[in-house]
Chains A and B, each alone.
Chain A
Amino acid sequence: MAEPDSLANKNYPREELDSKCWPIFQRLMEELGVRYENWIVVIEPDSGDYFLGLDDYEVLNRARKKHPRAQFFAYRLADNPAVDTLA
């Protein structure tokens, strides 16, 4: 684990953020995917810290408290890792 808070204010492009977090998500799917199926996981790419919950607002706020200046990638712990469906 890295330091509790990353002070760097990194602004990752979308694809880079996804590619950094995707291997962590795949590991979490193997470890937690059955128990927490369809839960939302929010990943901080530099520390590898992750935050689980059912409500994206609540999970993002929890992640932001620990890493106030970080950016996070959110997935759904499911075969389709999309968090939302629009039309």
Chain B
Amino acid sequence: MEKHQLHLQDGTIHGRIDEQGRVLLPVIVIAADGLELEIEAAIILQFAGAMALHEDVARRLGWRRLGTRRVSIGFQTVLMDHYLGTISLGGRLEPSQHVVLGGIKDSAVIGQKMLSGRSLRIDFGNSTVVLD
């Protein structure tokens, strides 16, 4: 399924399930120079934070690195940088600032903080993802 099949209708955000079974939602990240970049972010429900990006993406956005933290990934603990980034979920919501981690292998993941107060419906049978 192609990225253009992500739809935004009536305040709801429509994502997709990729061939690996990952649940993806469209996210707009706003670079330090104001440029808006639409990316697809995989939902990780165990992640209590807002968002994590590949290090290269975080650096290209020009966000200032605010330091580092320890992050558990499986049985490992790794060091990841933290940034304050401006993000809009699906481009439908007013952009807001969140702590974003840089240093994952995937391009982008989002966690509980980005989904807070919203309702996520996933239908694996019909391969639909809707965030109300």
Contact = CB atoms under 8 A, between A and B. Distances in A.
- Which bucket holds chain A's interface residue count? 20 to 34
B interface, by DSSP: helix, strand, loop or mixed?
A: strand
A85 B72 contact: yes
Given A18-B79, A87-B73, A87-B74, A73 B68 contact: yes
A86 B65 contact: no
A85 B101 CA distance: 11
**Centre residue among B44, B99, B109 by max chain A CB count within 10 A:** B99
Interface in B43-76: 44, 46-50, 52, 65-74
B69 A85 contact: no
Given A60-B84, A74-B82, A86-B109, A80 B72 contact: yes
Interface of A: 11-12, 14-15, 17-18, 42, 56-57, 60-61, 64, 70-76, 80-87
Interface of B: 44, 46-50, 52, 65-74, 77, 79-82, 84, 97-99, 101, 104, 109, 111
